Homo-oligomer: A and B are copies of this chain.
Amino acid sequence: MKKSKHKRRRRPPIGASPGTLVVPEGSPAPRLRAMHYTAETLHEVGIASLGELDGLTRQGGFLWLDVHGLGDERVIRAIGERFELHRLEVEDVVHVHQRPKIEPYEKHLFLVASMIRMVDGAMDIEQLSLFVGADFVLTFQEREGNGDVLDPVRERVRQAKGTIRRSMPCYLAYAILDAIVDAYFPVMDEIGTRLEGLEDAVLERQRPEMLRELNEIRAHLLKLRRIVSSQRDALLSMTKEPLSFVTDDVRLYLRDVADHCVQIADLIEAQREIGAGLLNTYLTLIANRTNDVMKVLTIIATIFIPLTFLVGVYGMNFEYMPELEWPWAYPALLAIMLAMGLAMVAYFRRKGWMG
């Protein structure tokens, strides 16, 4: 039995009260990691209980609380209460599969972004829920790992000389979003490479498996387009929301990230067009090939069927067939048949069916 490819999302039961938390199946228990920084100091610690945060934030500075794993409803809820998140926001954090979006609240901004990687030809999408306040950044990821995307940002926080350390939390949020969007480019590259390979393969040989792969790629592109366009909208509306804790400079940077989204959307459209062209090529090549096969059959049949009829005539056993007794009849017939065959070949040549 084949396993279903259609991933069912876990959802709260129909009619459940809002704010009901259904943690994603298989997500590990939350692991909390805090980075508390000022331009001069940096404390990076694993957090076991939320109370530890108070010690960190007491002396001012900014906090990045980095949560991996959504497997324990109570921890998530506790964080929500600590940072005064709305219960709909907390719900959105665990109900991963949101479109990228932005929701401004009075004291913080809630952002959903999609981190995308290609893993063995499949598109792996992970939701990043990001909260920015005046003095904190809060990120939630479903899984451990995938650190490759955010790790460079963490590294830059650790470097005392970087801009992040000297800037407001909104700059850190920008750095995270920039890293996420930049990670779309390698995904596009991989899809581009696959499309290219497919194009070469189709020109050489047409097989139904290629169609399946093409459909898969087009599904990827469709999904990507949706994500990227939501991401761009979210980024642009973030540059426009009049929020006290987003600086003008960061707005400019966010517009730049939105520009990258537009570039990616362009690439997606170009690749969708290539995909559509590929399907046409595939269909046309099959039609061409069927035409070639038919021509071979027709040439052979048209040359030999009449000749076979002719030799059949002189294979008849009638008693009165005068030709049979003529001594030159056999070579004459051979000559006639040769002439007929050559005439046919000439005819097909002229029709352009040969060579």
Contact = CB atoms under 8 A, between A and B. Distances in A.
Contact of A8 (B163, B189, B295, B329): B189
Interface stretch (A60-68, A138-146, A273-281): A273-281
A273 B153 contact: no
Given A14-B152, A97-B263, A311 B301 contact: no
Nearest to A12: B182
Contacts of A263: 97-99
A334 B330 CA distance: 18
Contacts of A215: 274, 277, 280-281
A205 interface: yes
The interface centre, meaning the residue of A86, A98, A175, A315 with most chain B CB atoms within 10 A of its CB, is: A315
A212 to B, nearest CB: 7
Contacts of A277: 215, 218-219
A15 to B, nearest CB: 3
A5 B291 contact: no
Nearest to A281: B211
Given A305-B304, A317-B315, A203 B212 contact: yes
Interface stretch (A44-52, A129-137, A192-200): A192-200
Interface residues of A, number: 119
Interface in A207-258: 207-208, 211-212, 215, 218-219, 222-223, 226, 252-253, 256
Interface of A: 2, 4-6, 8-9, 11-18, 86, 88, 91, 97-99, 101, 148-153, 155-156, 162-163, 175, 178-179, 182-183, 185-186, 189, 192-193, 196, 200, 203, 205-208, 211-212, 215, 218-219, 222-223, 226, 252-253, 256, 259, 262-263, 266, 269-270, 273-274, 277, 279-291, 293-298, 300-302, 304-309, 311-321, 323-330, 333-334, 352-353
24 contacts: A2-B200, A4-B196, A14-B182, A14-B183, A17-B156, A17-B163, A18-B256, A208-B284, A211-B281, A282-B284, A286-B287, A287-B287, A290-B290, A297-B297, A297-B302, A300-B302, A300-B305, A305-B305, A311-B315, A312-B315, A313-B334, A316-B330, A317-B324, A321-B330
